[in-house]
Amino acid sequence: QSALTQPASVSGSPGQSITISCTGTSSHVATYNFVSWYQQYPGKAPKLIIYGVTNRPSGVSNRFSGSKSGDTASLTISGLQAEDEADYYCSSSTSGGTLDVLFGGGTKVTVL
Amino acid sequence: QITLKESGPTLVKPTQTLTLTCTLSGFSLTSSGAGVGWIRQPPGKALEWLALIYWDDDKRYSSSLKNRLTITKDISKNQVVLTMTNMDPVDTATYYCTHTVVIMKDAFDIWGQGTTVIVSS
């Protein structure tokens, strides 16, 4: 069981907006802005789409946005497109001296 | 252009030690702020972070695996090496080498293609 909790699946129709949640604890998500999000297609390496809670790397569509409230981080995909169908993982770093990098269990996004 | 390429054995026997090499291109671990991490993914399962090494030789390990892991860098070869001892079938996974910089707050912006490791007798 992952220390970061994500819904197993989220679905939406083309053009809609969907939000994926990532719930942690005060040891990581709530306290530090070390939250990132990755998109992964089957058989491919993950791709970074959000870092530092809200920042998009160069070349990533502005349809992807990140936010955080308390111990829950969120990824919103607006204007959903067929190409957005993939697995999405959140990540955060911990405190307390261990400085682990944690990943969520992943969310399968289906475009209806 | 930054690229990373993993190499190592495809098949490892239980109890053996796994050695994986990541060859870096387009950057060096002498560059201030640069880091290389290892992340694995068992078939059909989630990502799991393993270890991280920075330009200044600062190293971090997964708290659940730290007794089995060693990460080192070879500047002359522009490589990072990860060793994992006492391999078990549950360690069967695709192992990824990744690039990061301190300013990205433990986010990994460039990934290698991954290398599959199967642990079986």
**For range A72-82, the mean pLDDT:** 97
Question: What pLDDT does residue A97 have?
Answer: 47
**For range B52-78, the mean pLDDT:** 95
Question: What pLDDT does residue B70 have?
Answer: 98
Question: What pLDDT does residue A1 have?
Answer: 54
Q: How far is CA B83 from CA A73, A102, B38, B73, in A?
A: 33, 20, 11, 12
Q: Is the pLDDT confidence value at B6 over 50?
A: yes
Question: Is any Cβ of chain A less than 8 angstroms from the Cβ of B111?
Answer: yes
Residue B3: strand pairing partners:
B25
Q: Is the pLDDT confidence value at B68 over 80?
A: yes
Spell out the residues 6+ positions from residue A33 whose beta carbon is closer than 8 angstroms to its own. Answer: A52, A53, A68, B105
The Cα–Cα gap between B75 and B57 comes to 11
- Judged by CB atoms closer than 8 Å, whether chains meet at A36 and B113 is answered as no
Q: Is the pLDDT confidence value at A98 over 70?
A: no
**Percent of chain A residues topping a pLDDT of 90:** 79
- Judged by CB atoms closer than 8 Å, whether chains meet at A46 and B109 is answered as no
The Cα–Cα gap between B91 and B60 comes to 19
- Judged by CB atoms closer than 8 Å, whether chains meet at A45 and B49 is answered as no
Identify the band that residue A30 occupies on the pLDDT scale cut at 50, 70 and 90: confident
